[in-house]
Structure 1
Amino acid sequence: MTMSHYDSVLPIWSAIQSRFFKTASQLPAEDLALKIGPASIGYMLQHNAEVEYMFTEWYFGRPMPEHLKLSTNAGPGGRQGDYSDLGALLKLLGDSNEHLRSAMRDLPEEAWTVPVESPMGGPATTPLEAVGRLMYHTGIHAGQISLIQKNTRTVQS
């Protein structure tokens, strides 16, 4: 018997997400305001969670929670929000991760490789490819957060 797409993807997704969440949870609250350019660390945490919600809706067919108000989808120069509450950001990250995991778990096996059009445009993307893009996206922001912390501390010293 072959392993399902969900069973193959979940351990990789979980490893990346748990590492990202651990990094986020260990951030000093004052670091949330650090930035290079228009995007602060707090903004990036909010953005990462929002992208998970958007991808879950677009590629896995699970609607975003009605109470969720997107604030980073216009980019860091768009709508401004308050991204200084670490507890709220961690809750949002945990909730978005669970929302995606639940949608992945419920996606029929045959749907994992069916291309889906999204509001992002470009070529249609399968849910399997979308998870890869989310992993890449999370990795980019993890690196940016580390770079911001390193460079702003160096500048402040």
Structure 2
Amino acid sequence: MSYSTVLPLWEALRQRFTHTTSALPESDLNLTLGKSSIRALLYHTAEVEYMFAEWFFGKTKPEYPAQTSSDSIQQLVELLAASNAHFVAAMKELPEEDWRAPIESPMGVSSPLEAVGRLMYHTGMHAGQISLIQQNGSCE
């Protein structure tokens, strides 16, 4: 398994997430359910993409703006686009023979291939949480 195999799978999931995120009304960013807000979940998704690019693909995390309570949907969509581009570039740079090599990370040992699977799960999980918050959440 290599970049050319993994990329279409990643893009299918990530494009759907991007489409959903881009269509969010600005007012939904303040919706919360328990301790989770849509704004925080979007920022967190970008943050984890940067972390995984660094931990499992060796691509240094760039400086990016800290989360604020005034981040607009446009700012968050741009952050998510940048984190996705960074992650895709990191995957592209990984030699094919390294995709299954175990890597020690702060979350334990995983290969880059396993890390992509975890990141797909992570993104899908938060997409579901966003939908749940839209249906059942309240404003902060």
Deviations 1:80-119 (A, max 9, x none): x325411110011000000010110110001100010112
Q: What is the aligned length?
A: 139
**Residue 64 of structure 2, aligned match among 49, 68, 75:** 68
Of Structure 1 and Structure 2, the greater strand share is in: 2
**Residue 18 of structure 2, aligned match among 17, 21, 29:** 21
Q: Which has the higher contact order (CA 8 A, sep 6+)?
A: 2
Tell me the equivalent position of 1:130: 115
Whole-angstrom distance in 2 between the partners of 1:83 and 1:104: 32
Tell me the equivalent position of 1:52: 49
1:111 matched to 2:98: yes
CA offset at residue 70 of structure 1?
5.8
Instruction: List runs of 5+ in structure 1 lacking aligned partners.
Output: 72-80
Percent identity between the two aligned chains = 53
Which amino acid counterpart does residue 16 of structure 1 have in structure 2? Answer: L
Residues 87 and 19 (structure 1), Cα distance of their counterparts in 2 relative to 1, 3 Å cut: same
Instruction: List runs of 5+ in structure 2 lacking aligned partners.
Output: none
Moved over 6 A (4+): none
Deviations 1:47-99 (A, max 9, x none): 0000000000000000001x22565xxxxxxxxx3254111100110000000
SS in 1 for 2:84: helix
TM-score between the two structures when normalised by the length of structure 1: 0.84
